[in-house]
Amino acid sequence: MAAECVARAGHHVTVIEQMPSAGRKLLMAGRGGLNLTHSEPIEDFLRRYGAGRAPLEAAIRAFPPDALVAWANELGQETFIGTSGRVFPRAMKASPLLRAWLARLAGLGVEIRLRHRLLELGPASRVVVTDATGTRAEIPTDAIVLALGGASWPRLGSDGNWADMLAQRGIDVRPFAPSNSGVLIAWSPEMAQRHAGAPLKRIAVSCSGQTTRGEAIVTVSGLEGGAIYALSPAIREAIARNGVASLSLDLRPDITAEALAARLASARKGDSRANVLRKAARLPPAAVAILREGVANKLPSEPAALAALIKAVPLDVRALAPLASAISTAGGVPWPEIDEHFMLRRLPGIFCAGEMLDWEAPTGGYLLQACFATGRAAGLGVSAYLSRELCTQPPA
């Protein structure tokens, strides 16, 4: 986005890409359909960024979801709104959009150097890189945009190795932490072996007073899925504060505890506990297993108590899943380090964008929207910076 914006302003742009091809993390995002953005009202949309709303708001309002949809349409990638309000390209994958985008950049004269790694960050007048053979090269520049990603999915290129490089230049870099991450739970061997991979549909999950609804998947080591991912900040803070985060799972959020208790009480006498939970409570086997895990297999017999447990299964989370497997990253360059044009205050002419900045958001289109918007904002900042520089240079 930054390259496209700066190239449209008439400047020559070189993109340094350490991977063998461009856009690998975008292609990974496209495995689930490429959720570009969300169609909800902008005020509701912005609230999804939590503490990141204030620093992100201007960039997103300048390039809101409607503008992103129009941009995709211009690339020949018509979009549609799903039942949840999420926006996807009709192709339901990233590769057609990426091919069209790269063709547009080539038409704008953007040069992309693949298998080149940033080795040394000097002033805005130069960068030092190495190519695929390890040969060093110094590239003269007038301005630099760093869009180096966070530290999740390092095999796709965002390995976070830039943090030390910026820290050496006096930039405060906050430690990386997993966001939109699964959680680790000490399942019993039977739970891990028999139910890993099983979905939990239409549940509600609570942590530290926050509740999300959605779906989750049982893993060998815990839980993952949208209902869990959205609580990553609350879970991470609870673990840091208490050493453990207490989750509460409502396995039937669409029914009251009283109505559920009545159903349980009306079950046929002689039915096994498993049959009562399956028929009266309509719980699938994985949900029944989680119910048992929450109370060490000591299920209450009284209907009201059993209904209350179904509505609030206690689970202790000892850690988030490893950073490398998280969908996104918290931490990175804090907002006080950059100005309103996304330029580093301590390093004039060097700009930052995307996930290397310290913000986080839930899945649902919010991550990509902010990456697109901050890339564009950094590109506009570069254009403004170069205009000022040109205006202040003495005549030749």
Question: Which pLDDT tens digit goes with each residue over 348-374?
Answer: 999 999 999 999 999 999 999 999 999
Alpha helices in the chain (DSSP H): 2-8, 24-29, 42-47, 53-62, 65-74, 95-107, 162-168, 189-195, 226-229, 232-242, 257-265, 273-279, 285-294, 303-311, 366-392
**Separation between Cα atoms, residue 337 and residue 356, nearest integer Å:** 12
Question: Based on C-alpha coordinates, what's the Rg of the chain?
Answer: 25
pLDDT above 90 for 388: no
Residues of the chain above pLDDT 70, percent: 98
pLDDT of residue 391: 61
Q: What pLDDT band is residue 96 in, cutting at 50, 70 and 90?
A: very high
Question: Which pLDDT tens digit goes with each residue over 188-200?
Answer: 999 999 999 999 9
Mean residue pLDDT of the chain comes to 95
**Separation between Cα atoms, residue 136 and residue 356, nearest integer Å:** 25
**Separation between Cα atoms, residue 282 and residue 254, nearest integer Å:** 12
Q: What pLDDT band is residue 333 in, cutting at 50, 70 and 90?
A: very high
Does residue 368 sit in helix, strand or coil?
helix
pLDDT of residue 272: 86
Question: Which pLDDT tens digit goes with each residue over 120-177?
Answer: 887 888 899 999 999 999 999 999 999 999 999 899 999 999 999 999 999 999 999 9
pLDDT above 70 for 90: yes
pLDDT of residue 49: 96
- CATH number belonging to domain 2-178+324-392: 3.50.50.60
Q: What pLDDT band is residue 218 in, cutting at 50, 70 and 90?
A: very high
Give domain limits for the chain. Answer: 2-178+324-392, 183-320
Question: Which pLDDT tens digit goes with each residue over 240-289?
Answer: 999 999 999 999 999 999 999 999 999 888 788 889 999 999 999 999 99
**Separation between Cα atoms, residue 280 and residue 285, nearest integer Å:** 13
Q: What pLDDT band is residue 394 in, cutting at 50, 70 and 90?
A: low
pLDDT of residue 396: 46
pLDDT of residue 11: 97
pLDDT of residue 103: 98
- Mean pLDDT on 89-94: 96
**1-36 CB burial, b ≥16 within 10 A, e <16:** bbbbbbbeeebebebbbbbeebbbbbbebbeeebbb
Listed residue (206, 183, 198, 185) closest to 312, CA to CA: 206
pLDDT above 70 for 392: no
Question: Which pLDDT tens digit goes with each residue over 52-82?
Answer: 999 999 999 999 999 999 999 999 999 999 9
Nearest-10 crossing angle of helices 303-311, 285-294: 100
pLDDT above 80 for 390: no
**Separation between Cα atoms, residue 96 and residue 75, nearest integer Å:** 9
